[in-house]
Amino acid sequence: MNFRFRQMASHDGPKQLHEALDVSRVVKGRKDIHGISPLTCDLTAVYVEGNAVEVTGKLFAELDMSCSRCLKPLKRKVDIDFEETFKRIDTPEEEGQNEEEDDIWLIADDQVDLNPYIEEALLLNLPYAAVCKEDCKGLCPSCGTDLNERDCDCEKERIDPRLAALGDFFKK
Ligand SMILES: [Zn+2]
Ligand SMILES: [Zn+2]
Protein backbone atom coordinates (compact mmCIF):
# COMPACT_ATOMS: atom_id res chain seq x y z
CA MET A 1 0.00 0.00 0.00
CA ASN A 2 1.62 3.25 -1.06
CA PHE A 3 1.22 6.77 -2.42
CA ARG A 4 3.34 9.21 -4.39
CA PHE A 5 3.83 12.81 -3.29
CA ARG A 6 3.81 14.12 -6.86
CA GLN A 7 0.60 12.27 -7.65
CA MET A 8 -1.02 13.45 -4.41
CA ALA A 9 -0.13 17.10 -5.14
CA SER A 10 -2.01 16.94 -8.43
CA HIS A 11 -4.77 14.69 -7.12
CA ASP A 12 -8.15 16.31 -6.90
CA GLY A 13 -9.17 15.90 -3.27
CA PRO A 14 -8.40 13.08 -0.83
CA LYS A 15 -7.33 9.69 -2.08
CA GLN A 16 -8.93 6.56 -0.64
CA LEU A 17 -6.65 3.66 0.15
CA HIS A 18 -8.39 0.36 0.77
CA GLU A 19 -6.59 -2.91 1.10
CA ALA A 20 -6.48 -6.10 3.14
CA LEU A 21 -2.91 -6.81 4.13
CA ASP A 22 -1.44 -10.13 5.11
CA VAL A 23 0.09 -9.35 8.50
CA SER A 24 0.72 -12.87 9.78
CA ARG A 25 4.46 -12.23 10.15
CA VAL A 26 3.76 -9.33 12.55
CA VAL A 27 2.31 -11.73 15.15
CA LYS A 28 4.84 -14.52 14.58
CA GLY A 29 6.73 -13.80 17.80
CA ARG A 30 3.61 -14.07 19.95
CA LYS A 31 2.99 -17.59 21.28
CA ASP A 32 -0.52 -16.70 22.47
CA ILE A 33 -1.59 -15.52 19.00
CA HIS A 34 -2.27 -18.43 16.67
CA GLY A 35 -3.57 -16.55 13.71
CA ILE A 36 -4.68 -13.20 12.39
CA SER A 37 -7.12 -12.28 9.65
CA PRO A 38 -5.92 -10.02 6.85
CA LEU A 39 -5.69 -6.47 8.20
CA THR A 40 -8.44 -4.34 6.68
CA CYS A 41 -7.09 -0.86 5.98
CA ASP A 42 -9.53 1.97 5.28
CA LEU A 43 -7.30 4.99 4.92
CA THR A 44 -7.55 8.42 3.40
CA ALA A 45 -4.53 10.32 2.12
CA VAL A 46 -4.75 14.09 1.91
CA TYR A 47 -2.18 16.44 0.43
CA VAL A 48 -1.44 19.35 2.77
CA GLU A 49 0.62 22.48 2.45
CA GLY A 50 4.39 22.14 2.55
CA ASN A 51 4.63 19.05 0.37
CA ALA A 52 3.18 16.79 3.04
CA VAL A 53 0.59 14.05 3.06
CA GLU A 54 -1.64 13.13 5.97
CA VAL A 55 -2.85 9.55 6.13
CA THR A 56 -5.71 8.82 8.53
CA GLY A 57 -8.24 6.05 8.96
CA LYS A 58 -8.97 2.68 10.50
CA LEU A 59 -7.18 -0.63 10.68
CA PHE A 60 -9.11 -3.73 11.65
CA ALA A 61 -8.29 -7.39 12.20
CA GLU A 62 -9.48 -10.48 14.06
CA LEU A 63 -7.13 -12.59 16.12
CA ASP A 64 -7.15 -16.21 17.17
CA MET A 65 -5.61 -16.26 20.62
CA SER A 66 -5.56 -18.36 23.75
CA CYS A 67 -6.45 -17.37 27.28
CA SER A 68 -3.25 -16.47 29.12
CA ARG A 69 -4.43 -18.41 32.20
CA CYS A 70 -6.34 -21.51 31.01
CA LEU A 71 -5.14 -21.61 27.35
CA LYS A 72 -8.71 -21.89 26.04
CA PRO A 73 -8.97 -20.58 22.46
CA LEU A 74 -10.58 -17.17 22.12
CA LYS A 75 -11.09 -14.44 19.56
CA ARG A 76 -10.08 -10.84 19.84
CA LYS A 77 -10.54 -7.86 17.57
CA VAL A 78 -8.19 -4.99 17.02
CA ASP A 79 -9.59 -1.68 15.90
CA ILE A 80 -6.91 0.92 15.40
CA ASP A 81 -7.05 4.62 14.62
CA PHE A 82 -4.23 5.28 12.18
CA GLU A 83 -2.78 8.76 11.79
CA GLU A 84 0.59 9.59 10.27
CA THR A 85 2.00 12.58 8.45
CA PHE A 86 4.71 12.32 5.80
CA LYS A 87 6.75 15.20 4.46
CA ARG A 88 8.80 15.14 1.30
CA ILE A 89 12.37 16.36 1.69
CA ASP A 90 15.21 16.72 -0.82
CA THR A 91 18.05 15.66 1.46
CA PRO A 92 18.17 11.92 2.11
CA GLU A 93 20.48 12.46 5.13
CA GLU A 94 17.56 13.84 7.11
CA GLU A 95 15.28 10.94 6.36
CA GLY A 96 13.43 9.47 9.34
CA GLN A 97 11.71 11.15 12.20
CA ASN A 98 12.48 14.80 12.79
CA GLU A 99 12.70 15.67 16.48
CA GLU A 100 11.67 19.26 16.00
CA GLU A 101 8.62 18.37 14.00
CA ASP A 102 7.29 15.57 16.13
CA ASP A 103 5.11 12.94 14.51
CA ILE A 104 6.11 13.89 11.00
CA TRP A 105 8.04 11.40 8.92
CA LEU A 106 10.60 12.94 6.61
CA ILE A 107 10.75 11.05 3.34
CA ALA A 108 13.38 11.48 0.62
CA ASP A 109 11.59 9.36 -2.02
CA ASP A 110 8.59 10.37 -4.06
CA GLN A 111 6.91 7.07 -3.24
CA VAL A 112 6.00 6.11 0.32
CA ASP A 113 5.37 2.50 1.26
CA LEU A 114 2.81 2.61 4.08
CA ASN A 115 3.08 -1.05 5.09
CA PRO A 116 5.91 -0.65 7.66
CA TYR A 117 3.98 2.14 9.39
CA ILE A 118 0.79 0.09 9.35
CA GLU A 119 2.57 -2.97 10.74
CA GLU A 120 4.11 -0.86 13.50
CA ALA A 121 0.68 0.50 14.48
CA LEU A 122 -0.67 -3.04 14.62
CA LEU A 123 2.24 -4.26 16.73
CA LEU A 124 1.67 -1.48 19.26
CA ASN A 125 -2.04 -2.29 19.50
CA LEU A 126 -1.97 -6.08 19.83
CA PRO A 127 -3.89 -7.26 22.90
CA TYR A 128 -1.63 -8.37 25.70
CA ALA A 129 -2.33 -11.36 27.98
CA ALA A 130 -5.95 -11.91 26.94
CA VAL A 131 -8.25 -13.77 29.34
CA CYS A 132 -11.38 -15.79 28.47
CA LYS A 133 -13.17 -14.14 31.41
CA GLU A 134 -12.03 -11.71 34.08
CA ASP A 135 -12.18 -14.32 36.87
CA CYS A 136 -10.64 -17.21 34.92
CA LYS A 137 -9.02 -19.49 37.49
CA GLY A 138 -6.48 -20.89 35.04
CA LEU A 139 -4.81 -24.28 35.11
CA CYS A 140 -3.41 -26.04 38.15
CA PRO A 141 0.36 -25.60 37.92
CA SER A 142 0.94 -29.16 39.17
CA CYS A 143 -1.56 -31.36 37.32
CA GLY A 144 -2.87 -29.06 34.60
CA THR A 145 -6.53 -29.39 35.58
CA ASP A 146 -8.69 -26.58 34.31
CA LEU A 147 -9.74 -25.07 37.64
CA ASN A 148 -12.74 -23.41 36.00
CA GLU A 149 -14.23 -26.86 35.45
CA ARG A 150 -13.31 -28.62 38.66
CA ASP A 151 -10.96 -28.54 41.63
CA CYS A 152 -8.05 -30.93 41.83
CA ASP A 153 -6.49 -32.62 44.89
CA CYS A 154 -3.08 -31.05 44.56
CA GLU A 155 -1.56 -29.55 47.71
CA LYS A 156 -1.00 -25.94 46.88
CA GLU A 157 -1.59 -22.43 47.91
CA ARG A 158 -4.68 -21.45 46.04
CA ILE A 159 -4.09 -18.12 44.38
CA ASP A 160 -6.97 -15.75 44.78
CA PRO A 161 -8.14 -14.91 41.24
CA ARG A 162 -8.12 -11.24 42.16
CA LEU A 163 -4.45 -11.55 43.12
CA ALA A 164 -3.78 -13.46 39.90
CA ALA A 165 -5.31 -10.57 38.00
CA LEU A 166 -3.01 -8.25 39.87
CA GLY A 167 -0.08 -10.45 38.85
CA ASP A 168 -1.11 -10.11 35.21
CA PHE A 169 -1.28 -6.40 35.71
CA PHE A 170 2.30 -6.23 36.92
CA LYS A 171 3.52 -8.31 33.98
CA LYS A 172 2.48 -5.44 31.74
ZN1 LIG B 1 -9.25 -18.74 30.75
ZN1 LIG C 1 -3.76 -30.03 40.41
> pLDDT tens, 13-69?
899 999 999 999 999 989 999 999 999 999 999 999 889 999 999 999 999 999 999
Q: What is the pLDDT of residue 165?
A: 67
Say what the pTM is. 0.80
Q: Which protein residues have their CB within 5 A of the ion that is ligand 2?
A: 140, 142-143, 145, 152, 154
> pLDDT tens, 96-106?
766 565 678 99
Distance 131 CA to ligand 1 centre (A): 5
- CA 68/CA 149 separation, integer angstroms: 16
Q: What is the pLDDT of residue 40?
A: 98
Banded pLDDT at 160 (limits 50, 70, 90): low
CB 53, CB 3: distance < 8 Å: yes
Mean of pLDDT values over 82-99: 80
User: Residue 136 to residues 66, 130, 147, 153: CA-CA distances in angstroms?
Assistant: 12, 11, 8, 19
